[in-house]
Amino acid sequence: MIQQTNSEITSAEQLFRSSDDGSRFELVRGVLIVMSPAGSEHGWIASRILIRLGTHVEANDLGKTFAAETGFLIEVNPDTVRAPDAAFVSHERLGTAPPSTSYLQVAPDLVAEVVSPNDSSTDVEAKAEQWLEAGSRIVLVADPKNQTLRVYKSKSQIEVLHSGDELSCGDLCGGWKISVNEIFNI
């Protein structure tokens, strides 16, 4: 469940320096969003994607992968900090990002989001489009309820994969592939 707060935190720097109270937050165009912890199915599916992606990225020295809760500053004035369930950033993009111990100031090449039971379709679509607008090249949306994988390459190029289908990222992630069956353990 996502809920807006009446908070004085309106910038990425304020969010990063805020005390850790155990809650998960994202900052969307200067508005602090409180997010409930992910459920077990959500976390399990996100980890299946990340483990397979990370193993491939490391074996081929393609860049770095990032787990859930890693913040990416993808818009400024007003600031937006998003935390995908899994992400890949190529060496090329990492080289253009300013060094930081805070949020990475670059959009991941590939973002994976897992739909939670209380997520609205509108919110999921808006988040995928925001990643694309920020410069992500592929946004994956895994939907456990329907056991589908939506692959966003642009606002108008969206592919829906079902059981038996396989995603191939081509050159983006050095030929990384994953099947829908693998994601959902079908």
Beta carbons within 10 angstroms of residue 104's beta carbon = 21
Contact 18/7 with Cβ under 8 angstroms? no
Quick check: is 50 in a domain?
yes
Q: Alpha carbon of 18 to those of 73, 81, 96, 181: distances in Å? A: 16, 14, 27, 40
pLDDT of residue 1: 42
Residue 12 lies in a domain: no
Q: How many helices (H) and strands (E) does the chain have?
A: 5, 13
Lowest mean pLDDT among 2-16, 32-46, 85-99, 116-130: 2-16
> What's the domain count of the chain?
1
Terminal alpha carbon distance of the chain: 26
Q: What is the CATH number of the domain that holds 141?
A: 3.90.1570.10
Report pLDDT for 5: 53
Inside any domain, residue 71: yes
* Average pLDDT for the chain: 90
Question: Does residue 27 lie in a domain region?
Answer: no
Region 146-162: what's the mean pLDDT? 96
| Averaged pLDDT for residues 119-133 | 91
The reply to whether 1 falls in a domain is no
CA dist., res. 101 & res. 126, Å (int): 28
For 128-131, which contacts have Cβ atoms below 8 Å and span 24 or more sequence positions?
Answer: 128/152, 129/155, 130/28, 130/74, 130/75, 130/80, 130/82, 131/74, 131/82, 131/84, 131/107
pTM above 0.85, yes or no: yes
The torsion angles phi and psi of 120, rounded to 5 degrees, stand at -90, 150
Q: Is 92 helix (H, G, I), strand (E, B) or coil?
A: helix
- Residues pairing with 80 in the sheet: 75
In a domain, 98, yes or no: yes
Q: How far apart are CA 127 and CA 72, in angstroms?
A: 13
Domain extent for 144: 38-184
30 within domain boundaries: no
pLDDT per residue as tens digits for the range 20-75: 666 788 899 999 988 888 889 999 999 999 999 999 999 999 999 999 889 999 99
Query: Shortest CA distance to 38 belongs to which of 28, 29, 20, 26?
Result: 26
Domain-located, residue 21: no
